[in-house]
Structure 1
Amino acid sequence: MVNISFVLSDGGFIEITLYIDDIAVTKVWQNSKNSNGDRLTAIVPVGSVYYLKGYTAIET
């Protein structure tokens, strides 16, 4: 399982999609400076590959 949390820090816009084995499985988008954040959660099967694709800077 993967669980990725997002917090909008500058009041801008984010749109991020989580892919598993090149299939879009869930998406989050926000456009508000008052956002408390959001989360992407999915089950990733053993041997699968997951990645994020979107319009924002990602900090780890």
Structure 2
Amino acid sequence: AKVMKFMPVMFTVFFLWFPAGLVLYYLANAVIGILQQWYFTRKTEKQYAAAAKG
């Protein structure tokens, strides 16, 4: 859990020297991954709730 607190700081320092396209790619990939995880988690929770009801 402590590592997750420092990751944004570390990535900021790393990306200061990278080309802007790479930073944009990383950001877009991270946002898409977050949305994808949110969607599938929500879908799975609905399926479990429906199965629990019978």
Common fold by TM > 0.5? no
TM-score scaled by length of structure 2: 0.19
Between Structure 1 and Structure 2, the one with more strand by share is: 1
Structure number with bigger Rg: 2
TM-score scaled by length of structure 1: 0.18
Between Structure 1 and Structure 2, the one with more helix by share is: 2
